[in-house]
Amino acid sequence: MERLTKVADHARSRLDRLWSRGSDFLGTRVAILGGAMSWVSERHLVSAISNAGGFGVIACGAMGPALLEAEIAATQARTEKPFGVNLITMHPQLDELIQVCICAGVTHIVLAGGVPPGPAVRAVKESGAKLICFAPALVLARRLVKSGADAIVIEGSEAGGHIGPVSLTVLAQEILPYLRDVPVFVAGGLGRGEAILSYLEMGASGAQLGTRFAASTDSIAHPNFKRAFMRANARDAVPSVQLDPRFPVIPVRGLVNEGTKRFLELQAETVRRFAAGEVSREEAQLEIEHFWAGALRRAVIDGDVENGSVMAGQSVGMVTRAQSVQEIVDELVQQAAQAIAGRD
């Protein structure tokens, strides 16, 4: 019994050492971030993740400055632990949103959705807040670090939501051995502690998960949304399909449903109308882009999982039952520690 406790203690302290750079950077007990998810990552889920020892991140999405200010204050009322705010770089009020974060004393700001503009980077840096950016390739990661990023998230195409083309398995090999200047967090398709451990051993400082937290009992997502996650297998979470190279579709990973089928039909019909001269190229592109407007909200908040956008990572196959955020975090830590202990 005593030996078992010693092995467990040893495994846990080995894990703590492996992700200490990440947990020091985040100011947390464990280096696990709850990736920002529009409509999902609000005060309840974010504070639950931070209170569980991880690092919650508010998804600002399309919120304006006043709403973001209220969301930050409400989150601060629920946790004294650190959390971050994720801002989309193309938001028309990006500068104001950064000021809201700074004035509220947010310690970590994530700039997502493209290379952040210079003034935004400078504003974050001058405030003393830590800047986290996404890098889809090593060259870009190096450029972001040079311009001021204090940490990088590499997100593989297994992830839910907007995705790049490369899997985490490959991104990790391309980036982790070469980017040592700042902590690097891995994301996409992660559902178990053993997988997180393997990336820590490759040089990652921590991991970011979205899908598993979205389905947690602390998430405000509609019961239909969570049920869809529990029923789905990895193969059901697929990227959006682009029918015609002339009309680009932003790749988004989510569960196949009526909406994804109708999206294909809409593209086919729009391309036909363009070919027949009934609509201009710009009108056709706009029609395609508008198809998903408001669709994530429809699925997450209204529970319309047939017509809405049920964004989910391939990790959705590992969502099998309703669990609290605390249970998920503890389970991930336990799995990683057990894998370490199993080697002794």
Rule CB under 6 A: say whether 35 interacts with ligand FMN.
Answer: yes
Q: Does 84 bind ligand FMN (CB under 6 A)?
A: no
Output the smallest distance, CB 337 to ligand FMN, in A.
Answer: 20
- What does the alpha-carbon distance between residue 59 and residue 329 come to, in Å, rounded to a whole number? 20
**In the structure encoding, which two tokens stand for residue 118, read together?**
């210079």
Q: Contact at 8 Å (CB) between 22 and 130?
A: no
Rounded CA Rg of the chain: 20
37 binds ligand FMN (CB under 6 A): yes
Q: Based on CB atoms, which residue is closest to ligand FMN, 155 or 274?
A: 155
Whether 291 contacts 263, CB under 8 Å:
yes
Residue number closest to ligand FMN, CB atom = 210
Of the pair 26, 190, the CB lying nearest ligand FMN is at: 190
Kindly state whether residue 46 participates in binding ligand FMN, applying the rule CB under 6 A.
no
Side-chain-facing half-sphere of 328: CA atoms under 13 Å: 31
Position of tokens 């969502």? Answer: 319
Which residue number, 200 or 214, has a Cβ lying nearer to ligand FMN? 214
Q: Pull the structure tokens for residue 111.
A: 């700039």
> By C-beta, is 208 or 270 nearer to ligand FMN?
208
Which region among 4-12, 69-77, 208-216, 268-276 touches ligand FMN (by CB under 6 A)? 208-216
Burial category of 128 from C-beta neighbours within 10 Å (exposed 0-12, middle 13-18, buried 19 and up): exposed
Binding mask 154-193 for ligand FMN (x = CB under 6 A): -x--xxxx-------------------------xxxx---
Give whichever of 144 and 187 is closer to ligand FMN, judged by the CB atom.
187
- Least distance to ligand FMN, CB of residue 312, Å: 5
| In the complex, least distance from residue 167 CB atom to ligand FMN, rounded to whole angstroms | 11
Torsion sign across C-alpha atoms 125, 138, 209, 53: negative
98 contributes a contact to ligand FMN by CB under 6 A: no
| Three-state SS annotation for 252-270 | EEEECCHHHHHHHHHHHHH
* CA dihedral sign of residues 168, 171, 173, 178: negative
Binding site for ligand FMN (CB under 6 A): 35-38, 40, 59, 61, 86, 112, 155, 158-161, 187-190, 208-211, 214, 311-313, 315
